[in-house]
A and B are shown apart, each in its own frame.
Chain A
Amino acid sequence: MPSLSYHRPSSITEAVQMAHDDPDAKLLAGGQSIIPSLKLGLLAPSAFIDLGGLADLRGVRLAGRSLRIGAMSSHAEVANSADVRKHLPALAHLASGIGDRQVRNRGTIGGSLANNDPAADYPGAVLGLGAELRTDRRAIPADSFFQGLFATALGPDEIITAVEFPLPERAAYVKFPQPASRFALVGVFVSLTGKSVRVAVTGAGACVFRVPELEQALARGFSPESLAGITMPADALNTDLHGSAEYRAHLIPVLTRRAVAQALA
């Protein structure tokens, strides 16, 4: 590994200033994706700016009809939070299925979202619930946050501070995990709030995306039967060692039906 500096800011303002002053530095959250990337030589930052000391970025808070989750909350903290389990069980279930127990003790929601891995689970929930990302300077709606392969709306020195999840009437997340890594080969998050239905798909494309055809069919009737006969084109979907684009296309309506059934259960 090349020579690297390490900074541990004690406030969000200080962290933003450090990122601003050194464009080659990288923010470090739990490190569960960035440390492997560093080891593989996929990136060579001048410095890590470790957000681990910022207590303001942790914790889950229920505020009216939404749950605010601090960006540095670990997957295990989200999965075990009494508030998340009670008010947004689909999100607790999603968090409890990320990676493995050791990874869940370190990995964070903010780190996962800033990284925007095409097969990550959290982007499914954020887009599938129409959540809002809070940063040090603004609020970014999920619909404009995810911009492509490992690409987001974040500025180079912008830090996610929390994610605000509106509470739906019904929601569920079902993934077909790659059995070794437990990343999503395809994962589908569905939610119903009033008459609004959202269907977000992760693992299948360059980054998470919504499927208007499935949403419209479910808005007419929120049941697995409403999806009968709908097929997905394989264009622009991922093909890799674990599955072809056609296979992933096939899984999208299958998993959506299962997610709707689970949301209704």
Chain B
Amino acid sequence: MPLQIQLRVNGSAVTTEITPDTLLATFLREHLHLTGTHVGCDTASCGACTVLLDGLAVKSCNVLVAQVQNCDITTIEGITPADGSLHPMQAAFKACHGLQCGFCTPGMIMSAIDLVMHHDHSSDAEIRAGLTGNLCRCTGYHNIVRAVMQAAPIMRSAKS
């Protein structure tokens, strides 16, 4: 039976009908065509599908749209400023070469934003532990950790 639901995606209200088994990742990619959210493993392991749900990082392949009724979803498409410049985390990934093939990058960036906003991230070890839910098969993580360290103070000063 179709289900009527309302939520906000990247600041815009969305009202839609879905089947109750629709995953958030499927909804974002196939209904809203926000294909920046990637589906890697589809088993909640790799983190490529990470989005922010009311500001907190979640794996959208492991959440039903029905569960996020009236919630705020932010995807990689929703973090860039209106002038088209990059979010500080995106700019840092670019500057530090924190990506190679780029498949994990949207999820990695969404996860890193939540890490910097809500968790301890002052040391290399904390950042590595904080990113255990995101797999990258190219970089060996070194440049990703550098990118998070570079973006963190810029994000903190923008927040305050």
A102 lies within 8 A of B133 (CB): yes
CA distance A69 to B45 in the complex (A): 27
Which of these, B1, B19, B44, B64, contacts A103 with CB under 8 Å? B44
Distance in angstroms from A105 CB to nearest chain B CB is: 4
Chain A residues near B134 (CB, 8 Å)?
A: 100
Interface membership of chain A positions 175-219, coded 1 if the CB is closer than 8 angstroms to chain B and 0 otherwise: 000001110000000000000000000000000000000000000
Chain B residues near A47 (CB, 8 Å)?
A: 20
Distance in angstroms from A116 CB to nearest chain B CB is: 19
Which of these, A32, A48, A101, contacts B119 with CB under 8 Å? A101
- For this complex, 14 residue pairs linking A to B, each with C-beta atoms less than 8 Å apart, are A5-B1, A31-B62, A31-B64, A35-B23, A39-B42, A48-B20, A50-B67, A100-B47, A101-B114, A103-B44, A105-B53, A106-B58, A106-B59, A180-B45
A35 lies within 8 A of B64 (CB): yes
Cβ of B145 within 8 Å of any chain A Cβ, yes or no, is no
In the complex, which residue of chain B has the Cβ closest to the Cβ of A179?
Answer: B132
A102 lies within 8 A of B66 (CB): no
Cβ of A76 within 8 Å of any chain B Cβ, yes or no, is yes
CA distance A39 to B1 in the complex (A): 19
CA distance A31 to B45 in the complex (A): 14
CA distance A197 to B40 in the complex (A): 45
A-B contact count (CB 8 A): 80
CA distance A20 to B150 in the complex (A): 54
Chain A residues near B66 (CB, 8 Å)?
A: 6, 8, 48, 50
Distance in angstroms from A126 CB to nearest chain B CB is: 24
B59 lies within 8 A of A102 (CB): yes
Cβ of A52 within 8 Å of any chain B Cβ, yes or no, is yes
Distance in angstroms from A82 CB to nearest chain B CB is: 15
A36 lies within 8 A of B44 (CB): yes
A102 lies within 8 A of B58 (CB): yes
In the complex, which residue of chain B has the Cβ closest to the Cβ of A53?
Answer: B69
Chain B residues near A4 (CB, 8 Å)?
A: 19-21
B47 lies within 8 A of A31 (CB): no
Distance in angstroms from A94 CB to nearest chain B CB is: 15
Cβ of A99 within 8 Å of any chain B Cβ, yes or no, is yes
CA distance A76 to B111 in the complex (A): 14
Per CB-CB distance, the 7 closest pairs between chain A and chain B, nearest first, are A100-B133, A6-B20, A105-B56, A1-B21, A102-B133, A102-B59, A6-B66
Cβ of A55 within 8 Å of any chain B Cβ, yes or no, is no
Interface membership of chain A positions 73-100, coded 1 if the CB is closer than 8 angstroms to chain B and 0 otherwise: 0001000000000000000000000011
Interface membership of chain B positions 61-98, coded 1 if the CB is closer than 8 angstroms to chain A and 0 otherwise: 01110110100000000000000000000000000000
Cβ of B9 within 8 Å of any chain A Cβ, yes or no, is no
Distance in angstroms from A182 CB to nearest chain B CB is: 7
CA distance A38 to B44 in the complex (A): 13
Distance in angstroms from A90 CB to nearest chain B CB is: 18
Question: Which A101-121 residues sit within 8 Å CB-CB of chain B?
Answer: 101-103, 105-106
A105 lies within 8 A of B45 (CB): no
Given that A99-B133, A182-B132 are contacting pairs, would A52 and B58 also be in contact in the complex, using a CB cutoff of 8 Å? no
Known: A35-B23, A39-B42. 10 other contacts (CB 8 A): A1-B21, A31-B67, A36-B62, A47-B20, A48-B20, A100-B134, A101-B111, A101-B114, A102-B58, A102-B111
Interface membership of chain B positions 5-44, coded 1 if the CB is closer than 8 angstroms to chain A and 0 otherwise: 0000000000000011101000000000000000000111
